[in-house]
Amino acid sequence: MTPDKAVATQRRKAALPQGFRHLPGRLDRQAQEALVAELRIIIAEAPLFTPVMPRTGKPFSVRMSNCGSLGWVSDVRGYRYQPMHPVTGRPWPAMPSVLTDIWAELAPDAPPPEACLINFYGEDARMGLHQDRDEATFDAPVLSVSLGDTALFRIGGLERSDPTLSLKLSSGDVALLGGAARLAFHGIDRLYPGTSTLLKDGGRINLTLRRVTKPEKT
């Protein structure tokens, strides 16, 4: 069975929402290395921080930063997008043009992305099943770029209890979450340490480009 056929079969079983596209190896090794070099400069200006859960203050296992005009943060007060780094108080660095170029190619009808969330996973980090709903608009897709070690990604439906489908996201893979998939529950169950040589000290970086505010009507 071809991979696309397998996904189509599994999608019916899991009643997966439409609008999920996986583009394995969209970035070649050279493009991945160039992007990591840009991210190192971004992280030097906007250091990774450890977000905590609203109310409980329980730390995430993933460390984060952002680039673009807005960045996603989580602290005891809640989840939100803000224009400044929560620790340094400085504006987020600009988004690399390679990322905005991929957005323009894959989401030509969407307004430009405003936020690029940078998630860094050490070998034991994971991300529980959740929906992304802190944006003021869900019309635009979310675009994800994976770098470094392979991760086991899980995506379900619009209800937490819906059946889920698992697939691996590897270095250079791009995923586009549009349409009904935009509000699907999803998470990262685990990493496969040592599966990539891209990041000297191992681990995984995931970038998610998002439109946050409603675009100006034209």
CB of 146 to Fe ion, least distance (A): 13
Is 49 or 185 the residue whose CB approaches Fe ion more closely? 185
Bridge partners of 65?
Answer: 118
Beta strands in the chain (DSSP E): 20-23, 63-68, 71-75, 78-82, 115-121, 127-130, 142-148, 150-155, 165-169, 174-177, 186-192, 204-210
Q: Decide if residue 208 touches ligand MD3 (CB under 6 A).
A: yes
Binder of ligand MD3 out of 67, 107, 147, 181 (CB under 6 A): 181
> How many residues does this entry show for the chain?
218
Q: Decide if residue 150 touches ligand MD3 (CB under 6 A).
A: no
CB of 185 to ligand MD3, least distance (A): 8
Among positions 89-128, residues that touch ligand MD3 (CB under 6 A) are 117, 119, 127
Tokens matching residue 157: 């439906």
Residue of closest CB approach to Fe ion: 132
204: buried, middle or exposed (CB in 10 Å: 19+, 13-18, 0-12)? buried
Binding site for ligand MD3 (CB under 6 A): 117, 119, 127, 132, 142, 144, 151, 153, 155, 175, 177, 181-182, 184, 186, 188, 206, 208
